[in-house]
């Protein structure tokens, strides 16, 4: 939830989902706080990069030498939102798999 572009509502949505899905609320709060200031540039860059997959030929590449126009900002925003949703799903699947493997490994060690 920390990557999904619902600025200001990420924690509220995450806690609501934790109650509905009967998840550990403390772990959900800790995991939802991924968008801390040092991570924001990386999340923005990776979201914009992931969004270029969905945009095809209309994909915008980050360039600081080109002129900024309203049309370019609009296209980049759509690309960012699509990429952020894609990145959130990919990160969720990746960390689910990683957590599953780690827990499976520690469970095997106990037996």
Q: Quick one: which of 51, 40, 33, 36 has its CA closest to 90?
A: 51
Taking Cα atoms as reference points, which of 92, 87, 63 lies closest to residue 75?
A: 63
pLDDT at 110: 60
What is the per-residue pLDDT across 49-94, written as a single tens digit (0 to 9) for each?
A: 999 998 888 888 877 677 777 877 887 898 999 999 999 999 989 9
pTM of this prediction? Answer: 0.75
DSSP state of 5: S
CA distance 5 to 31: 15
d(CA 24, CA 27): 6
Q: Which range has the worst mean pLDDT, 19-23, 52-56, 106-110?
A: 106-110
Tell me which H or E stretch contains 70.
Answer: helix 70-110
Other CB atoms within 10 Å distance of the CB of residue 41: 9
């Amino acid at each position: 939830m920390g990557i999904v572009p619902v600025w200001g509502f990420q924690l509220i949505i995450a806690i609501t989902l934790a109650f509905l899905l009967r998840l550990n609320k403390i772990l959900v709060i800790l995991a939802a706080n991924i968008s801390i200031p040092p991570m924001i540039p990386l999340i923005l860059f990776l979201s914009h990069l992931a969004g270029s997959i969905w945009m095809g030929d209309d994909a915008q590449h980050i360039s600081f030498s080109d002129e900024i126009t309203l049309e370019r900002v609009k296209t980049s925003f759509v690309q960012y939102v699509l990429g952020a949703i894609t990145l959130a799903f990919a990160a969720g699947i990746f960390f689910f798999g990683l957590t599953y493997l780690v827990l499976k490994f520690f469970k095997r060690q106990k037996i």
